[in-house]
Amino acid sequence: MTLDLEKALASMKQQVTQYCQQHQIEDPIVVGIHSGGVWVANEIFAAVPTTEPLATLDITFYRDDFTQAGLHPTVGQTQLPAIEGRHVILVDDVLMSGRTIRAAMNEIFDFGRPASITLAILFDLNKRELPIRADIIGEQLSLADNQRVKLTGPEPLQVALIETD
């Protein structure tokens, strides 16, 4: 299986533009989840009709596996503007179980109550543990249980299919 990063990003750009038009979303806040989601958000940001700068979210302390996994060696910084009543486009690189997105939404709601949250994902792996789905998907993948998608970047932004033990 070959992963086409450019094609997936182009699809996301087109979808986010159409989504905002169809839902009459103006000046949304684009939030990238550290670190891959921030890289993807940077790539699609120009397609979003907004005057707001890119916001970032580090969900390390919101993860439900924090006590099991411990502190991730690189904790990023959360930078969110006032989100009360605003439309948020939440961006991440891979949607697998849904746990990262649940943690991100918990953190967002600690900052206020947005009007809506639109989920934009580069690669959807269709392996949900929680009832979370993306509104914008670069590409849907069906991987074997021992396969994962690894995004590296930001310069250059690259994607690889890796196999685990």
- Residue 85's region, left for phi above 0, alpha for psi from -120 to 50, else beta, is left
Q: Measure CA 131 to chain center.
A: 16
Mean pLDDT of 87-104: 96
pLDDT surpassing 60 at residue 69:
no
> Residue 74 falls within a domain, yes or no?
no
pLDDT surpassing 90 at residue 112:
yes
> Residue 76 falls within a domain, yes or no?
no
Which range marks the domain in which residue 110 is found? 5-62+82-163
Query: What CATH number is attached to the domain comprising 159?
Result: 3.40.50.2020
> Residue 71 falls within a domain, yes or no?
no
Mean pLDDT of 86-115: 96
> Residue 150 falls within a domain, yes or no?
yes
> Residue 103 falls within a domain, yes or no?
yes
